[in-house]
Amino acid sequence: MMYIPGIMMLEKVSKALADKNRLKIIQYLSSGEKNVSEVADKLNVEENLASHHLRVLASLGFLKNDKKGREVYYRINETRFVALLRDLNRSKVFRDILLRSLEE
């Protein structure tokens, strides 16, 4: 798992998850692995832009990828999301926010 402690990591994660297309990618990949072309089609963007978004998420550990021939397939890295929630839970402020959101 890629983990950079502190504010820098939180800033990178925040920026990555603040992008609508990246959130759409995470939601889309929750149904299973997809290649760059499928993601680009789903988002209605060029493949190079979809590939960029996928690389950003993968560089932070949120996605795993496998190369099959000339295609790269991406899937959710659930372990990384669980680790993020655990890290956030260590902070009283984030823990309180998380608990309130789960009650709603």
- Position 4 scores a pLDDT of 45
Q: What share of the chain is helix, strand, coil (3-state, %, to 5)?
A: 65, 15, 25
Q: What is the mean pLDDT of residues 54-81?
A: 93
Q: How many CB atoms lie within 10 A of CB 102?
A: 7
- Please tell me the predicted confidence (pLDDT) of residue 7: 66
Say which CATH architecture domain 7-77 belongs to.
Answer: Orthogonal Bundle (1.10)
For residue range 7-58, what is the model confidence (pLDDT) as tens digits?
A: 667 778 878 888 999 999 999 999 999 999 999 999 999 999 999 999 999 9
Say if CB 63 and CB 29 are below 8 A apart.
yes
